[in-house]
Amino acid sequence: MSTPPHLPTARDRFRTAYDAVLAQWPEPVRSVDLPTPYGLTRVNSCGPAGAPPLVLLPGAGATSTVWGACAGAGLAGTHRVHAVDLVGDPGLSVPEPGRAVRTTGDLVGWLDAVIDGLGPQAPVTLAGHSYGAWIAAHYAASRPARLGRLVLLDPTRVFAGLRPGYVLRALPMLVRPTPERIGSFLAWESGGAALDPAWLRLQGETARFRAVRPVTGPRPDLTGLGGTPVGGRPQAGVDVRLLFAGRARCHDADRAARAARRVLPGARVEVLPGVSHHALPLTAAGEIARLVAAA
């Protein structure tokens, strides 16, 4: 009697889609699982080993693979890129049973362990998109001495709340995610922009992940983080740079940018027209690479 063929599990399908996106990155890519108090954290790294360290946090559900376009657009030439799968989120990080990340303090402790595990030899540039930017902002507020530069890409719930219409549109996908609902939402939010098909397939596979409640909390207190501008540059503190997506549906980008300039008068704040929130890391990779690497 012949053995029935192995049928791919949901995890198999996710891993195949994940690896297909990672295969598009600039080579070579080194993948490691770093131990933290909250579980193993998968980090995908590329770029010269001695280059300045850059830690990248994705938006919720986007996985570390979303940064491949940015790495290929120049970041992997100017930095040692370390793209992180958020623990508890879709990806290859493995949460520690009974040690869920529940508070902003937990997030700071988790990221401390990740950066310690990477062992950077210079101050880190920390960049995040969307929910990842919210995490990065909280970390910068708590650990400014560990950072040389902070880059926030269309941060949500940092300088502006979410639009009710955006939340209502996302609700069916959040309550009962399916590949079809995820694809429909991304097509709506991006205005039909041409997103990487391999990454879109991976997004569909994230529907099979057990839903984990994301950490919520107050807006991070970034007052004074970027120092006082002198001659157009921060006098003290962390070098802060922000890029807002001009066509974002989650918030009013111009209003959020004005709020950012009030809170961080020494920061470099830009609004990129014609780009949506979820498409930003994929379709504005060149602009992101320029913002991160510019002197």
The DSSP string of 145-165 is: GGEEEEEEES-SSSSSPPPHH
Secondary-structure breakdown of the chain: helix, strand, coil percentages, each rounded to the nearest 5: 40, 20, 40
Q: What is the pLDDT of residue 234?
A: 47
Q: What is the pLDDT of residue 1?
A: 47
∠ CA(282), CA(283), CA(289), 5° rounding? Answer: 80
Ranges of the chain whose pLDDT falls below 70: 1-7, 211, 226-236
Q: What's the predicted TM-score (pTM) here?
A: 0.94
Sign for the pseudo-dihedral over CA of 116, 117, 119, 120: negative
Q: Which residue has the tokens 């990221």?
A: 111
Q: What is the pLDDT of residue 5?
A: 57
Distances (CA, A) of 84 to 122, 199, 210, 257: 18, 16, 19, 26
Per-residue pLDDT tens digits for 3-30 = 455 667 888 999 999 999 999 999 999 9
